[in-house]
Structure 1
Amino acid sequence: MSAPTSAVGQLSLNGTNDANGATPQKRMILYAFMMGCSGHQSPGLWTHPADRSRHHNKLSYWTDHAKLLESAHFDGLFLADVLGGYDVYGGNLDAALSSGAQFPVIDPLLLISAMAAATTNLSFGITATTSYVHPYELARRFSTLDHLTNGRVGWNVVTGYLDSAARQFGAKNQDLHSKRYEVADEYMDVVYKLWESSWADDAVVQDPTKPIYTRPERVRQINHKGKYYESVPGPHICEPSPQRSPVIYQAGSSGPGMAFAAKHAEVIFIAAHKPEVAKKRVDAARSGAKEAGRDPTTLKVLALLCPIIGRTDEEAAQKYKDHLAHGSDDGALALFGGWTGIDLSTYDEDEELRATESNAIKSAVENFASQDPTVPKWNKKAVAEKIKLGGLGPTIVGGPESIADQLQDWVDLAGVDGFNLAYTLAPGTFEDFVELVVPVLKKRGVVWADYPQVEQPKTENVTDGPKEGYGVGEKVGITSREKLYGVGQKTFRSDHYASKFTWKAGQEAPALD
């Protein structure tokens, strides 16, 4: 739990002053962090009478959340996912099953169309792995969603971290970490070629006078032949979508993960309990982007935070105690086991974990101890208490002004661009944030008062059939990439690796080697 602070810094968007001579505030990017399960980062909180996450398999649960977030002009909703259960703790799924810790879990991709239909501007970040889905199939899924949302999707690229998932696909365990990223790098080449290079921007003409739908000479095979994907001929089965490629998110913190992010990611997510620790991650990420030939300021960094909000600091502190009491120790230790590979079930309840012979346990627990030196003994209970509200990210507690101050501190001290906000109660955490904190942030000028307006599609000259509806005159909102880089920048920036693949209107097809 972070202590409230009061410093509110001023960060420039572009290094220039506004018309009044004041330095404009840096806008905070706001995402809600959810998953198709109960509790998500706060295992056991489904037992709280105000929580509704047990209804994660009901469509209205998702559409109501989407409408709530759009009402407060959030950038988007980010959806985590796994393809296996947390079975390290105790060597089985019992703790995860009994507590509902990210098991059962539903497919996030199938939620997007409904939420998009209920909103106009809210974006959606979707986790999907490069380990178990063929790139040709994944490319169609994301192109489809980008079409149906009018450009409001992003892909959180993961290689997986659970051996339990690998076993479902016929392997004993996952490939080595470095190999998974090597495979992922080739995977990205395949999907970039499909999204960016198999169709020209001017391939689809839909000219009934000729008649011709697509110009065949402006579509080509990609004929990818690689080490891990020996033959992907193409072309992409979908025409170019509004963004062509989804916004690329990434959350890896290892050496290979950060190298991957430097080359591919437009947004990265980090989890660090203190701004000064986060700053090191931010600086390293931007340095990597610069080395990759990109403008480092265009790599957006979002910090994982879990806010517990009251109308006063005292009310928030009471909420924290109440929510902590509903958390599940077993669920937290199951998640810890999956995240770290460490099984704490074999240790005594009161055993000091910093005194074990396991270097992995010592390292993990010493990290917790450095964050909270007030804990007298780091036993299993203490580890569970540390992570059962908000997971591996920090939990910040306070009234509206205090929460706004703490968010501003993270922007000022860590240099992050915004936040991926986890919840203790769904929808309670987000309702509190929308009702109590967003007005403060808007008053300070650090979040949008409204979504930027974008040009609407040209009016169709309809001579027969329905004059509106059925796709005619559909209202569009701001795309995911425009939220990052400004209205008009729907596709990759020119300094992004994938931009070299883009087949532009009126131009020859670029080389694919």
Structure 2
Amino acid sequence: MPNQNSPRQIRFNAFDMNCVAHQSSGMWRHPDDQAWRYKDLDYWTELARLLERGTFDGIFIADVLGTYDVYGGSNEAAIRHGAQVPVNDPVLLVSAMAHVTENLGFGITAGTSYEHPYPFARRMSTLDHLTKGRVGWNVVTGYLPSAARNMGHDDQLEHDDRYDVADEYLEVLYKLWEGSWEDDAVQRNRETGVFTDPAKVHEIRHSGKNFTVPGIHLSEPSTQRTPVIYQAGASGRGIQFAAGNAEAIFVAAPTKAVLKTSVAKIRDALEAAGRDRYSAKIYTLLTIITDSTEQKAKAKHEDFLQYASDEGALVFMSGWMGIDLSQYDLDEPVGNVKSNAIQSVIANYAESAQNGEEFTVSDIGRLGAIGGLGPFIVGSGEQIADQLQEWVEETDVDGFNLAYAITPGTFEDIVEHVIPVLRDRGAYPEAYTPGSLRQKLHGRGDRLPVEHKGASFRIGGTGSTSPR
């Protein structure tokens, strides 16, 4: 439970993607935007150093395995606007960024629909070793039909069915990460010639509906064993999944009222799953436009609007909602439409509409052009700090998943203008907590807490398949 006798500590996470246009469509055209350097490793190492200087919890790197082809029934508009295509692999960035930092965490997005858990388990263990325990995994089930087709399927599974697969996927991973190797299996005994004691390495013998994994994990235990589990699904089924697994949860809400409701639902679900209400940090999507004065911040916003692409935003929204918005008149209300993509998007707009706002297709393009699914706020460092503290106090959210208008300029502005104000108010950390990413976030050690479902798969636990 947060300490009510002092200002609530606000947490920042940077939201980026290994592409040109992540959330704010068209901003790649801005002369100060460096997103086109996404292919340059120096861009990522420079960004990592900047974020660590700002004591960000981490950088959350999104990913997709398909193109946005719902809008207009093709991917032409997505390709034209650079809307998350071209896009490169997020995993390969982490080692370099970890090498130039000591504390920054790394949240890597990877899906459960199109890669077998056995090689994925090794990949994440490798990164946890190389980063000394600073890796998290953002679990996604996939939502782009184009990804399913290119992986040999006619279409993706239905929304809830994808989460059923993800449940078993996580079970396999927990068995590999937590239950295959004993803590003292690796002995490195030069006298006996035994590097690893075979009696202390166990097959997981998993045989399920979707996966069969009989053998051992290929990696020795890393600092965290299981990386910090991130999750961003906000549908009813997504919240259920997060309540059982997630240690950091990302949400997107257009208003404080919607966010307050979402946070309360998540905390209730955590409690219903037998966990503490605050056992997962909740970050809400936000884009900040700031400068030394309100006037300069507003001028910066007006400058950005010259480059923002409404059509590019509609490409994104069509993919996120699973609805071809090109078929609507721009002044037509969106309404409540069933979607097999991100169901919570429509729910958020519908709830806002009940509060007196009727969202049209044009509004979605205009509002989503900077910041995507999340709101954006404009002001001086002091004004931004005021608003952030209000959001935290009124909604019970832990922090903000910060998207950018331009990169790295948006993050530079936050470090220069907002963070010093929050620090002066005692509302933002002065330094990192030593230890792994899990320890920095929760202060309870490097490994999963005993009440987390993944801990039950440890050797001797209720979910363990080892002899002991």
TM range (shorter): over 0.9
Q: Which residue of 1 aligns with 2:418?
A: 437
Q: Which residue of 1 aligns with 2:456?
A: 500
Q: What does 1:10-89 correspond to in 2, within 5 Å?
A: 13-14=2-3, 23-89=5-71
Q: 2:367 aligns with which of 362, 386, 394?
A: 386
Q: Which residue of 2 aligns with 1:234?
A: 215
Shift of 1:213: 1.1
Alignment of 1:279 onto 2:243: no
Distance 2:349 2:269 in 1: 29
Q: Which residue of 2 aligns with 1:132?
A: 114
Larger mean CA deviation between 208-217 and 43-52 belongs to: 208-217
Q: What does 1:74-153 correspond to in 2, within 5 Å?
A: 74-153=56-135
Deviations 1:273-318 (A, max 9, x none): 2222111111111111111111112121111110011211121112
Q: 1:163 aligns with which of 134, 139, 145?
A: 145
Distance 2:428 2:422 in 1: 6
Distance 2:346 2:133 in 1: 45
Q: Which residue of 1 aligns with 2:342?
A: none
Distance 2:337 2:161 in 1: 26
Provide structure 2 residue ranges, at least 5 long, that are not aligned to the other structure.
Answer: 340-344
Distance 1:511 1:48 in 2: 54
Distance 2:104 2:458 in 1: 26
Alignment of 1:491 onto 2:447: yes
SS in 2 for 1:306: strand
Amino acid at match of 1:24: S
Shift of 1:383: 2.2
Q: Which residue of 2 aligns with 1:511?
A: 464
SS in 1 for 2:39: coil
Distance 2:107 2:184 in 1: 28
Q: Which residue of 2 aligns with 1:407?
A: 388
Q: 2:399 aligns with which of 389, 403, 418?
A: 418
Distance 1:320 1:125 in 2: 29
Q: 1:51 to 1:355 in 2, by over 3 A?
A: closer
Deviations 1:345-390 (A, max 9, x none): 2334xx52128897879977655656894x9xx6543321110100
Q: Which residue of 1 aligns with 2:167?
A: 185
SS in 1 for 2:46: helix
Amino acid at match of 2:257: E
Larger Rg: 1
Whether the aligned pair in 2 keeps the contact of 1:80 and 1:126 (CA below 8 Å) is yes
Q: 1:92 to 1:281 in 2, by over 3 A?
A: same
Deviations 1:376-432 (A, max 9, x none): xx6543321110100010101110001111111111001011110000000000000
Distance 2:338 2:49 in 1: 46
Shift of 1:209: 2.1
Whether the aligned pair in 1 keeps the contact of 2:377 and 2:384 (CA below 8 Å) is yes
Distance 1:367 1:316 in 2: 30
Whether the aligned pair in 2 keeps the contact of 1:324 and 1:385 (CA below 8 Å) is no
Distance 2:407 2:197 in 1: 49
Distance 1:301 1:256 in 2: 17
Q: 2:436 aligns with which of 476, 479, 501?
A: 479
Distance 2:261 2:252 in 1: 12
Q: Which residue of 2 aligns with 1:302?
A: 283
Alignment of 1:201 onto 2:183: yes
Deviations 1:200-257 (A, max 9, x none): 111112121222211111101001011111x201200000000000000111111211
Q: 1:509 to 1:283 in 2, by over 3 A?
A: closer
Distance 1:182 1:510 in 2: 18
Distance 1:215 1:403 in 2: 56
SS in 1 for 2:327: coil
Amino acid at match of 1:491: R
Q: What RMSD over aligned residues (CA atoms) do the two structures have, in Å?
A: 2.2
Q: 1:500 to 1:358 in 2, by over 3 A?
A: closer
Amino acid at match of 1:273: P
The count of corresponding residues between Structure 1 and Structure 2 is 461
Deviations 1:64-112 (A, max 9, x none): 1000001111110001110001111111111111111111111000100
Distance 2:193 2:201 in 1: 17
Distance 1:358 1:246 in 2: 36
Amino acid at match of 2:198: P
Shift of 1:14: 4.5
Amino acid at match of 1:125: G
Distance 2:29 2:346 in 1: 32
Distance 2:322 2:334 in 1: 19
Q: Which residue of 1 aligns with 2:326?
A: 345
- TM-score when normalising by structure 2: 0.94
Shift of 1:162: 0.5
Distance 1:132 1:212 in 2: 38
Whether the aligned pair in 2 keeps the contact of 1:195 and 1:245 (CA below 8 Å) is yes
Amino acid at match of 1:494: V
